[in-house]
């Protein structure tokens, strides 16, 4: 069985040194995301775990250990923003295509756990970190004519094809999970796009989903809704992939404003899901030249001690489905 380690994606700081349009190739921003939708497509069904309110779930018995292993004194960092960092956009970009986008061949290093091509991926689709990046190089594309999401990890393009470490195709109208033990474009075997903080939804004043985040070390295990592990130890003190945390209900958000306040409220209501190995409490989002990086930095005041792991075992309707009670 293939086991891959999520690349360590650490951005030291958000520094506004320029602007980049993170949207569809040649068109600026992708189709707006509002009310859990991408154009005509839902961002997974309303009963998906992504949209589950976890504010009233019981605290996991492993909460203190998992928070401590990630870093109780470490602070939240918005791993996205406006401008460039090290020559590339800050965050994980995505784009949309329509029914006229040609399918192209795609090959994978981990083909036994990847959905085979062809994929409707433009040759100039935005790549995480930019075309010259040596990082995770995620590519995320939504085909709005079929409502399918195509995601690739470590993606590289040629004139008429793509090669990637791994890839997954998701039906945005379905609660289907990956086969047990399979990776995706993410270490936890989850889709990436629905867990990103996106500008349009924050500007609307409400995020309606859990947020993707990373931790330095993870257990060599996964729990629902994750389907894959990338851990370094069997120690129960380390969180497994799929571990779900929320910002404590009593955390005082009165010092937060704008986007930071909206994001903090989402972390209280929908929580954050561990999806990859990386820096402590780094939450994921898409780059956008409209982000105010100084405002996003208000989230730095939130520490690991302000989170608690929640017990989610009772949420699954079926362990092989992403439908939540």
Structural domain count of the chain: 1
**303 vs 81: CA distance, rounded Å:** 20
**Number of Cα atoms under 13 Å in the Cβ half of residue 15:** 8
- 276-315 burial, b if ≥16 CB within 10 A, otherwise e? bbbbbbbbbbbbbbebebebbebbeebbbbbbbbbebeeb
Which residues lie across from 85 on neighbouring strands? Answer: 88
Picking from 265, 144, 272, the residue whose alpha carbon sits closest to that of residue 196 is: 272
296 within some domain: yes
Sheet holding 156-157, edge to edge: 106-108, 162-164, 156-157
**41 vs 215: CA distance, rounded Å:** 31
13 within some domain: no
130 within some domain: yes
pLDDT values of the chain reduced to their tens digit, one per residue, 325 residues:
333 333 333 333 332 222 223 333 333 455 545 446 888 999 999 999 999 999 999 999 999 999 999 999 999 999 999 999 988 999 999 999 999 999 999 999 999 999 999 999 999 999 999 999 999 999 999 999 999 999 999 999 998 999 999 999 999 999 999 999 999 999 999 999 999 999 999 999 999 999 999 999 999 999 999 999 999 899 999 999 999 999 999 999 999 999 999 999 999 999 999 999 999 999 999 999 999 999 999 999 999 999 999 999 899 999 999 999 9
316 within some domain: no
Domain that holds residue 224: 33-309
264 within some domain: yes
322 within some domain: no
């Amino acid at each position: 069985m293939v086991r891959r380690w999520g690349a360590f994606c650490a951005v030291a700081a958000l520094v506004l040194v320029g602007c980049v349009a993170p949207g569809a190739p040649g068109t600026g921003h992708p189709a707006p995301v509002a009310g859990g939708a991408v154009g005509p497509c839902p961002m997974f069904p309303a009963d998906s775990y992504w949209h589950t309110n976890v504010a009233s779930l019981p605290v996991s018995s492993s909460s203190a250990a998992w928070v401590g292993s990630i870093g109780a004194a470490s602070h939240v960092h918005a791993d996205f923003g406006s401008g460039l960092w090290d020559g590339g956009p800050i965050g994980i970009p995505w784009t949309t295509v329509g029914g006229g986008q040609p399918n192209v061949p795609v090959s994978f290093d981990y083909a036994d756990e990847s959905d085979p091509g062809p994929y409707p991926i433009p040759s100039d689709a935005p790549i995480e970190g930019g075309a010259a990046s040596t990082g995770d190089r995620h590519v995320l594309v939504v085909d709005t004519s079929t409502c399918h999401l195509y995601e690739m990890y470590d993606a590289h393009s040629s004139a008429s094809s793509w090669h990637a470490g791994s890839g997954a195709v998701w039906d945005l109208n379905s609660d289907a999970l990956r086969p047990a033990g399979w990776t995706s474009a993410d270490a936890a075997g989850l889709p990436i796009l629905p867990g990103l903080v996106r500008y349009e939804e924050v500007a609307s004043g409400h995020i309606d989903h859990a947020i993707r985040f990373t931790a330095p070390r993870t257990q060599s295990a996964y729990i629902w809704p994750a389907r894959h592990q990338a851990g370094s130890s069997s120690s129960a003190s380390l969180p497994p992939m799929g571990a779900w945390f929320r910002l404590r209900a009593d955390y005082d958000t009165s010092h937060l404003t704008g986007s930071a306040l909206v994001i903090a409220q989402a972390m209280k209501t929908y929580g954050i899901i561990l999806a990859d190995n990386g820096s402590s409490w780094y939450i994921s989002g898409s780059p956008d030249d409209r982000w105010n990086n100084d405002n996003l930095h208000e989230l730095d005041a939130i520490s690991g001690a302000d989170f608690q792991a929640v017990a989610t075992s009772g949420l699954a309707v079926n362990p092989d489905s992403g439908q939540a009670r």
